[in-house]
Amino acid sequence: MNHDTLITGGHILTMDAAFTEHPTGDIGITGGKISGIGDLSGDSATQTIDATNTLVTPGLINTHCHAAMTLFRGLADDRPLDAFLQTVWAAEGQFITPETAQIGATLGAAEMALGGVTHFVDMYWHWESTIAAADHIGIGLTTGPVFIAFDGIDNQPWDQRVANAEAAITRLPHQHLMLMPHSCYTMDADKLAQVAALADKHTLPIHIHAAEAPSEMSQVQDIYGKRPIAVMQDTGILDHATLIAHAVHLNDAEITTLAQSKASIAHNPLSNAKLASGTMRLHDLHTAHIPLSLGTDGPSSSNDLDMWQTMRHASLMNFATTGDAASIPARDIFAMATRGGARCIGLGGSKGTLEVGKDADIAIIDMTAPHMIPSYDPYSTLVYAAGRGDVAHVFASGKHVVAGKRLVADITDTTRQVKAIQSRIAPSFDA
Ligand SMILES: [Zn+2]
């Protein structure tokens, strides 16, 4: 068989349900899909990548971020969520336009691709700018209209926001979309119910922040007289395939409610730790079989888009808080960053594992650096030792986006523009 690309001689971790491995195997890519896997020594290809001394894995899926917030990286550090948001929202109001959002998101997408991410979920103002950014870098994106009760920095009164969202849904039939109500504390019950109705009407999943921090829990209590999970249940948000970012502050009854719903969770351990939001009950959620995935959150709260740090912190924070160093093995953490991510965004049928017919979303991890040897268990190496610098090649839907540890797309203009924006932002915030 002739493939577009053959990746030869790597140690393949398919991350399928049986965790099938090919200790020395090949992968074929044709038309953006995986066209062969295993021993393909009799096959030919237009391009061949020698993957000797590498691990070949599914691309990482970052299920929660705000990529354009790279522009505010480090602007509001060392303060809790409410104070952080005050500064960030002021900066957004002054400096975020469709143009700057695209520049920031391009930088973020470049950073993610270099770190092995092949698909990300992004919630942000001027979200169509993020589509252009992901296209420029060549990685996949799930995004969609953001809903917030007030007019917002994009100056859209509620009715106009809903109309614009519906027009965009019709205009972008090939873009993978979610409806994105920001949170319970920036919405009200009526508007949350309207978003749930839109999700019904357009058969779209929902992405929302919830149960993130103590300040949010008391705000939601003040507004609704109940906790965020109950608000989402009562407004119909939980009747959908809803991806909840954070879900840190959950009681036992709420974990049962989530387990019985179609909801899934994007765990953001670095953001939760840095903003002192709390420690998620990862092991309890894992035991309850709630679909789990990993996210970096925005680069102003965590402060980068590094899924390797995210995996390691998810694992270590779980061990530290449960006191049980056997509670979630490295293999299951790596599954959250790959197969779990795909499942949580409804793309489990086409992404998240290396199987023939699926999208060719592939990361090739260099195993030659001193910190990567010896490797007795590949999953342990990936979760506890590997970093972004070990990502040698990345293919997203078959497109070669990182080649030999270098980004294929040109971001010279982007980095120049980011520095120009920084020089405008800095004087306003004594930064
Ligand atoms: Zn977030």
Distance 200 CA to ligand 1 centre (A): 24
Q: What is the CATH number of domain 2-58+350-407?
A: 2.30.40.10
Distance 127 CA to ligand 1 centre (A): 14
DSSP for 260-328 reads HSS-EEEE-HHHHHHTT-----HHHHHHTT--EEE----HHHHSS--HHHHHHHHHHHHHHHHS-TTSS
Distance 368 CA to ligand 1 centre (A): 35
Distance 244 CA to ligand 1 centre (A): 10
Distance 124 CA to ligand 1 centre (A): 9
Distance 278 CA to ligand 1 centre (A): 15
Distance 82 CA to ligand 1 centre (A): 13
Distance 65 CA to ligand 1 centre (A): 6
Q: Name the CATH code of domain 60-344 (choices 3.40.50.300, 3.20.20.140, 3.90.180.10, 1.50.10.10).
A: 3.20.20.140
Scan for tokens 């920095």, then name that residue.
153
Cα gap 257→361, rounded to integer Å: 33
Distance 209 CA to ligand 1 centre (A): 6
Distance 300 CA to ligand 1 centre (A): 10
Residues that place a CB less than 5 A from ion ligand 1: 297
Distance 213 CA to ligand 1 centre (A): 12
Radius of gyration of the chain from its Cα atoms, rounded to whole angstroms: 21
Distance 370 CA to ligand 1 centre (A): 35
Distance 73 CA to ligand 1 centre (A): 14
Please list, in sequence order, all residues whose beta carbon lies within 8 angstroms of the beta carbon of residue 125, skipping any fewer than 6 positions away.
Answer: 68, 92, 96, 101, 146, 152, 153, 154
Distance 380 CA to ligand 1 centre (A): 28
Distance 353 CA to ligand 1 centre (A): 26
Distance 412 CA to ligand 1 centre (A): 28
Return per-residue pLDDT of the chain as tens, 431 residues.
Answer: 999 999 999 999 999 999 999 999 999 999 999 999 999 999 999 999 999 999 999 999 999 999 999 999 999 888 887 888 889 889 999 999 999 999 999 999 999 999 999 999 999 999 999 999 999 999 999 999 999 999 999 999 999 999 999 999 999 999 999 999 999 999 999 999 999 999 999 999 999 999 999 999 999 999 999 999 999 999 999 999 999 999 999 999 999 999 999 999 999 999 999 989 999 999 999 999 999 999 999 876 778 999 999 999 999 999 999 999 999 999 999 999 999 999 999 999 999 999 999 999 999 999 999 999 999 999 999 999 999 999 999 999 999 999 999 999 999 999 999 999 999 999 988 77
Distance 123 CA to ligand 1 centre (A): 7
Distance 245 CA to ligand 1 centre (A): 7
- In terms of pTM, does the model score above 0.95? yes
Distance 169 CA to ligand 1 centre (A): 22
- What are the extents of the domains in the chain? 2-58+350-407, 60-344
Question: Which burial class, exposed, middle or buried, applies to 19 when counting CB atoms under 10 A from its CB (0-12, 13-18, 19+)?
Answer: middle
Distance 284 CA to ligand 1 centre (A): 22
Helices 412-428 and 81-95, axial angle in degrees (round to 10): 110
Distance 46 CA to ligand 1 centre (A): 41
